Structure 1
Amino acid sequence: MSNTFSSPLAGRSTGDRLILGLAILLSLVMLLPVLWVIAMSLKDNAALMANPNSVFFPPYELTNYLNIFATSSVFRWIANSLIVSVSMTVGVLVLSSLAGYGFARLNFPGRDVLFVIVLFGLAVPEQAVVVARHQIFSLLKWHNTYQGLILPGLSSAFGVFLMTQFFRAIPKELDEAALLDNASRFRIFWKVLLPLTLPAQATLGIFTFLNAWNDYFWPLISATRKEMYTLTVGMASTQTNFAQSEGLGYLMAQAVFAGAPILIVYLFFQKYIVTAVSGAAQR
C-alpha cells in the first residue's frame, strides 16, 4: 500500500528546503513578541515586579483578564468599537466601490483631475485636519455620538484608489456585452463587475476594520463621555500612572484582549487577502 501522506519537504531541492526552513525560522522569530505578551498577560503583576524572569515559569493565571471583565463599562466599549468598526467598514466598501467604478468605467468632465485630488488624500495626515474637523463637529454637536466617530473614516482615498485599479483590470468587453443586453449601468456594476472585485473588497474591508478598531487618536478627541468610549480609549482610561511598571500583566492582558478580534477577522478572510495580493502582483 502506498503512503498517502507525504512530508512537505518531499520532492523538494536542497535550495527549496533551505528557503522553507528560513521562512519557518523567521515566522517563529516574529511570533516571539506575541508569545511574550500572552505569557506576561497570564502572570501576576506582583510576581513580574519581584522577578521579570518569572514570565518563563508557571504558575499562570487568568486574574488579569478577570480584572478586565470586572470593569463595568468594558462590554459597552466593545459594543461601541463594533458599531463604529462595522459601520465604517460597510460605508467605506460602498462608497469606495461606487467611486472606483465611476473613475474606472465612466467618462465625465474633470474625471482625471478629480482622481488626482483624491490621491492627494493619501499624503495628508489625519493630524493636519483634526482642528478643522473638531470645530465642524462641535458646531454640529456630533461629539459623543456614533456619527461623530464613524463619518470621518468614510473618506478613504486608499479605498477609492484600490477599487479603481481593480475595476480597471476587468475587461471592458463585459460591460459592452451587458449593454447589448440592455442592462443599465447600475445593473452592470451590481450584477457583473462587483462580484469580480470580492478579493479587493475583502482586503479593503479587513484593513478598514483593523484601522477603525485600533484607532485611538480621533475617538480620544471626539468621545469625552465614558459611555461613548471605544475599547482602545476605554482600556487606556483604566490604566494607572504606574501601569508601565506596576501593572505589566494587566497591561499585556489589555493588549491581547483588544487585539483578539482583529486576529479572528483576519483568520476568517485570510484567503481573500492572499488572492488579492497575488492578483495585484500578477498585474
Structure 2
Amino acid sequence: MATDNITAVNAPNLFIDATNGIRYAYRRFGKSGGVPLILMQHFRGNLDFWDNALLDAFAAEREIIAFDNTGVAATSGKTPDNVRQMARDAISFIEALKFETVDILGFSLGGFVAQDVTLLRPYLVRKLILAGTGPQGGPGMHGWVKDIADAARKADSGGAELAYIMFKGTPTSQAKGQEYLGRFMARRTDRDAGGTLQTRDAQYDAVVDWGIPDHSKLQRLAAIEQPTFVASGDDDRMLPPRLAYIMAGLIPNAQIKIYPDAAHGFLWQHHREFAADVNSFLG
C-alpha cells in the first residue's frame, strides 16, 4: 500500500472488517516497506489524540498504523472491560491487515494491551515499545490517584483536563501542553468519532482489574523475549516511573529511558526526542 505522501493531518480514515465481526477504523501512512509499527492508544483516546508531530517523525522512517480498538470511536462493537479481550481484538485487527510481523508501541492502557498481545502471539511481534504504562499486578496501580481519576473520567473531559493529566505542573511542561493542544486541533476535517461513556467505563474497569496487586503476575514479563524499549516521564502521576523500572528489570531484553520535567504525556512533550529514540530502537 503506497502511503508515502500522506501525513498525520491528512491521513484518510480507513475501515477493515475482521473475522471477529468488528469493523475497525484506522489510519495508515508512512514509508512503505519494512516492519510496520502498530500504535495502541491510551484511556479514552481515539485516532485524533496521537500527536501529529510525533506520528510524522515515525512515518519518515517506517509505515505506521493507528487504530480504534473494539467499541472505541468509529470502530464497531462494544468496548470490552478487560485487557485480555482488548488484546485478542487487537490481534484480530492485525490479522485482518495480513501482517505476519509487526512492531508495537503501546501507550498507557495501550501498553497493557501491547504486553498481552506480545504474550499471546510472541511470533507476531518483533520489537515492543512500552510508553507511560505498567505491568499487570504492579504496586500502586489499583486505579489512579483521586484527582487524576476525577479529571480522566469526567464526562465532558476536554483540553484543560488533558493538560492537567498529561503534563507536569511546571511552566515549561504546561507550555508544551498548550503546543500539543494546538497540534491536536490541526486536523480540521475527517476527524474521528467521539468516545462514549460505555468505552470510558469499560476501559476504566479494565485499568482497575489490571492493577489489582498480584506479585505473581509480574513474572509474566519474563516471557517477553522481544527487544523492548520502556519509557516514562519523571513525574507521571497516572502510572509512575517506578513501574517502568519494574518492567525494564523483569523483561530480559529491555532498555529504559525517563524523560525530564514530564508527566504522562512525555511522548507529546518530548516528541522530537522520543521519536528519535524510537526510530533508533526500531532501526
TM-score by shorter chain over 0.5? no
Q: Which has the higher helix share?
A: 1
- The structure number with the bigger radius of gyration is 1
Higher relative contact order (CA 8 A, sep 6+): 1
- What's the TM-score bracket when you normalise by the shorter of the two chains? under 0.3
The TM-score normalised by the length of structure 1 is 0.22
Query: When the two structures are superposed, what TM-score results if normalisation uses the length of structure 2?
Result: 0.22
